[in-house]
Structure 1
Amino acid sequence: MSSNLSYLDLIDICDNVQIYRPTPEELYDVKYKIDAQDKNKARHGEHLVPFALNPSPESPIIGLLRPIIVQQLRLENERSRQLVLPEIWVLDLDFDVSQYRGGEVGPRRVSFQSWLDTPSKRTAAMRETCERWRDTKLFDDVCGPKKWRAELYPIYADPFGVLDHPDGSLQAEGTKQLNFVFEMERSACALFGVVTYGVHMSIYQEVLGLDGEKSLAVWVPTRARTKPTFPGFLDNTVAGGIPSGMPVFESLVKECMEEASLGADVVRKHVRGAGAISYFFRTSKGWLQPEVEYVYDLPIPPGADPTLFEPKPSDDEVESFELMTQDILIEKLRLGLFKPNCALVLIDLFIRLGYITPDNEPDFMNIVTRLHSRFDYEQWKR
């Protein structure tokens, strides 16, 4: 890893997917080069297939599927036929250009069969499929026994819409239909290219020096060496996924207690929402992870007892915490020592606190806009 990564380099590492759709029957990630020996494939990257909720042409598109997953879903249907079970998947993969009349025939895609018409039915189908893949170690590097999280993530028809749930606790007032469409095992989400959601919080303090200049220090944890993803990397003070059915802020309160031994009363009193970042990350193994992270700040109040805000390891996910000055933070960022999405949260913090500005950063506007990706979502639906 380079020891002189720029802020834009750090964003490129995390937001590393670019979707291109030159024709309705083509959809691919131009940044992922699948075959350096084949110039045509190298130019176009890996072809992807939209994952629709149901066979209807008006169905929401909820994910993107790699060819290896599409082939596996074809085998899943064959297995269902052999066991005299209803098929789960509709594989609409034969695009006939002669039948295309200005959008009357939709693009190639995969969807649930129409009988899977409720969140509970889809959830059950995904649970059986993913647990069987786990037990057979089919995709062992993603959702095998050592990667399995035993945590359900919510999937939504509109990834930018309301984060509701069938229990009604999160349903937006006045909505007639849930945005929630099913839930699935956290570790398997990247296999289906669905959007996932998390919370990230920074505990920091700012001190005004004798010269009138502000200095920043942020509490930074080191991830446990036993973590299934990015072991030993640096992280944000508190971070975690949003479990299905739990409100965003309550997820943060839970993570603060579990990861950093922070009391709920302190969190509820002092934490403030600071927006969100989003990015489309492809893992080193090629799996697709479009993600939204809701960002929170906990500035240590001037004159407050700092021990109330000092995070301490509480579970097996964090090795230690260190209060890092801004200079050390930037040094470790440029060395690539932070988990990729955590680097983006810190860059966002630097911008909001005025440490990265249009006057000191030539890539300022590129950085600001790249922190809020829409995953080329309009291309998924075309």
Structure 2
Amino acid sequence: MSTVEHMHKLSFLDLINICDNVRVHQPSPIPTSFDAETLIPLYLTESLSSPIIGLLRPLIVQQLEAENNFNRENGKLEMWNILSSDETPRVAFQTWLDTHAKRTAAMTELCERWRDSRLFDDVCGPKKWRNEMYPIYADPFGVHDHPDTTKLGESLNFVFEMERSACALFGVITYGVHMSIYDEAEVDGQRTLRVWVPTRARTKPTWPGYLDNSVAGGIPSGMPMFESLVKECMEEASITADIVRKHVRCVGAISYFFRTSKGWLQPEVEYVYDLLIPSDVDPTPFRPKPLDGEVESFELLSQNAVIQKMRAGLFKPNCALVLIDLFIRLGYITPENEPDYMKIVTRLHGQFDYERW
């Protein structure tokens, strides 16, 4: 069977396995050579009661040891406490990195040096660098706060921020917003669904040319989820803020643990939004149009056309999951027509095996 023939047979559960493809300390849904790697937890401090904020591959732990040597040789403080001989092997920030500002400054210097030296060129090299800071939280399922939005003296879930492109090197949980722009109508007594689907620009540093959700983007550090969506709607799709604030609603979140083809770790949460185009208004203001160059074009596709392209592997993996969630919520995927319904529903809302970190 050819690759193309195989990809046309992808089921909804197959699509989830492609995106949610990591199991911590156990074989992954689609076994790979990376399953043999021992992932080391990244703690905020050396205490075993400290929050765990990431997972490190062995080659990253080796590099952090080299960074400590580099700092010693240059008369600087070591950044990492590497507890490899302890009963619980782990890596933590050194005690002098005791504030979010100190940790942010240290991580910024480190990531920029890796960028300039092209050490991990395929992840955070000059061509992959995003120049966008992502927040890291002590509790990845807790509140999205920030020093700029919290009263002085209040405790923070926010512990530092770092360059977006380097997050996969440290296995930290990142966050984004994804929205579906769609309409529904009744034809011959049956509901029909159409969704606006963009093609990603060929110049994008990740997944160039793949199909995407109507609007999607990361949540920059310090920006609320909905405001991030308002920004992305204008930048990517020319949808104005007044339309977004009046018609968009938050409908939940999906979560998955993705490992790239090179083995890098990307546990992600995507907050999910809907923009249902009202049937009794002029649809023109709701029609997405490229603006900032990240999208090549938009096409209004029927549900069947969307599913066909999903099963052909043409969508960016996490975008397929958002569409599966949409079809479930609107009642197009049901326990009656999908034998893997419960597996699909529960897998869309995983917790990254966080208790195993």
TMscore range, shorter length: over 0.9
Separation of aligned partners in 2, 1:233 and 1:188: 22
- Counterpart of 1:361? 338
Question: 1:10-29 CA deviation, whole Å, 9 max, x = no partner?
Answer: 000000000127xxxxxx86
Scaled by the length of structure 2, the TM-score of the pair is: 0.96
SS at match of 1:19: coil
- Counterpart of 2:270? 293
For the Cα contact (< 8 Å) 1:30–1:46, is it kept in 2? Answer: no
Correspondence list, 1:107-122, <5 A: 107-122=88-103
- Counterpart of 1:261? 238
Query: Are positions 1:197 and 2:194 aligned together?
Result: no
SS at match of 1:218: strand
SS at match of 1:20: coil
Separation of aligned partners in 2, 1:95 and 1:56: 12
- Counterpart of 1:209? 187
Query: Are positions 1:7 and 2:12 aligned together?
Result: yes
Query: Are positions 1:246 and 2:251 aligned together?
Result: no
| Amino acid paired to 1:122 | R
Q: Which runs of 5+ in 2 are unaligned?
A: none
For the Cα contact (< 8 Å) 1:18–1:31, is it kept in 2? Answer: no
SS at match of 2:148: coil
Query: Are positions 1:126 and 2:115 aligned together?
Result: no
Correspondence list, 1:92-111, <5 A: 92-96=83-87, 107-111=88-92
- Counterpart of 2:349? 372
Query: Are positions 1:56 and 2:47 aligned together?
Result: yes
For the Cα contact (< 8 Å) 1:257–1:264, is it kept in 2? Answer: yes
Query: Are positions 1:157 and 2:138 aligned together?
Result: yes
Correspondence list, 1:311-322, <5 A: 311-322=288-299
| Amino acid paired to 2:212 | D
For the Cα contact (< 8 Å) 1:29–1:47, is it kept in 2? Answer: no
Separation of aligned partners in 2, 1:184 and 1:30: 30
| Amino acid paired to 1:118 | T
Question: 1:222-276 CA deviation, whole Å, 9 max, x = no partner?
Answer: 0000000000000000000000000000000000000000100000000001100
Separation of aligned partners in 1, 2:333 and 2:244: 27
Question: 1:269-299 CA deviation, whole Å, 9 max, x = no partner?
Answer: 0000110000000001100000000000000
Question: 1:181-214 CA deviation, whole Å, 9 max, x = no partner?
Answer: 000000000000000000000000001112x110
- Counterpart of 1:349? 326
| Amino acid paired to 1:275 | G
Query: Are positions 1:181 and 2:159 aligned together?
Result: yes
Q: Percent identity of the aligned residues?
A: 70
Change (3 A) 1:30 1:335: closer
For the Cα contact (< 8 Å) 1:223–1:230, is it kept in 2? Answer: yes
Separation of aligned partners in 1, 2:33 and 2:79: 29
Pairwise CA distance, 1:365: 0.2
For the Cα contact (< 8 Å) 2:25–2:38, is it kept in 1? Answer: no
Q: Which runs of 5+ in 1 are unaligned?
A: 22-27, 36-43, 97-106
SS at match of 1:297: strand
Pairwise CA distance, 1:303: 1.4
Pairwise CA distance, 1:33: 3.5
Separation of aligned partners in 2, 1:251 and 1:157: 21
Separation of aligned partners in 1, 2:28 and 2:194: 38
Separation of aligned partners in 2, 1:230 and 1:30: 22
- The number of aligned residues is 352
For the Cα contact (< 8 Å) 2:17–2:30, is it kept in 1? Answer: no
Separation of aligned partners in 2, 1:29 and 1:352: 27
- Counterpart of 1:339? 316
Scaled by the length of structure 1, the TM-score of the pair is: 0.90
- Counterpart of 1:79? 70
- Counterpart of 1:25? none
| Amino acid paired to 1:200 | H
